[in-house]
Amino acid sequence: MLTDPYYVRHADVQDATREVSRRYYDFAVRYGDLLFDPTAVDATRTHIAPETQEVTVAAPVPVGTDCVAGALWARVIRGAHGLLVSLVDLSSQSDVLWKTPKRPPRPLADVRLRIQQTAPTSIRFASPESSPSLQRLEPEPNGRHDVVTLPPFSTWGLVWVSDEEVV
C-alpha cells in the first residue's frame, strides 16, 4: 500500500492494519459490479441538491457533497444496477489528507436516507466494518419518498437502491 508520496518504502504492516485493509479490499471486490460500473454517472449534485431532494441524508453530524473534514460525505452514483449512495464519515477528522494520521473511527448511528420513489424498489445496506453482506432495509413511506434508517457504521456505509429484487 502507498505510504510515501513517491517511492516505495518497504516496511512491515501491523496485523490490525492488514486486517482493516483486507476488509476494505474484499468489500470493493464483492461490490465491484456496483462500485466500478462503467456506465455509472455521478449524480451527487443533481440528486442531493436542495432543489431536487431526490435523495436527502440526515445525520447527527454535518452532511456535505464534498470531501471535507468534519462532515459526512455523501455521493450518489446512478448506474446500470440502480442508485448507489456512498457515505463516508469524516466528522471526527481534522483534515482529509491521505498522508496524515487519522483519528480512530466511531460508530455513526441515526443516519436516515429519504429517497424519492420512482418504482417499487429494494433498498440494501452494507459496510466493510460492520456488515459486509447487503442487508435489506424496510422503508417507511413518506409521501413520494421512502425513508430508511441505516444501521450504525464507522467509516463507510453503502446503500444500494434497485428496482430489481436482489437475492
Task: Check pLDDT > 90 for residue 93.
Answer: yes
Please give the average per-residue pLDDT across 88-107, as a whole number.
Answer: 91
Interval 20-77: pLDDT, tens: 889 999 999 999 999 999 999 998 877 776 666 789 999 999 999 999 999 999 999 9
Q: Running DSSP on this structure, what letter comes out for residue 47?
A: H
Structure confidence at residue 130 (pLDDT):
83
Interval 126-152: pLDDT, tens: 999 887 899 999 999 888 889 999 999
| Count of helix runs (H) and strand runs (E) in the chain | 3, 11
Of the candidate CATH numbers 1.10.10.10, 3.40.1260.10, 2.60.40.1180, 3.40.50.300, the domain formed by 15-162 belongs to 2.60.40.1180
Structure confidence at residue 2 (pLDDT):
63
The amino acid that residue 146 corresponds to is D
To 10 degrees, the CA torsion angle through 37, 57, 138, 110?
Answer: 130
Average pLDDT over the chain reads 88
**Per DSSP, what are the bridge partners of residue 156?**
88
Whether the Cβ atoms of residue 1 and residue 24 lie closer than 8 Å to each other: no
Is residue 163 very low, low, confident or very high in pLDDT (cuts 50, 70, 90)? confident
Which sequence spans correspond to the domains of the chain?
Answer: 15-162
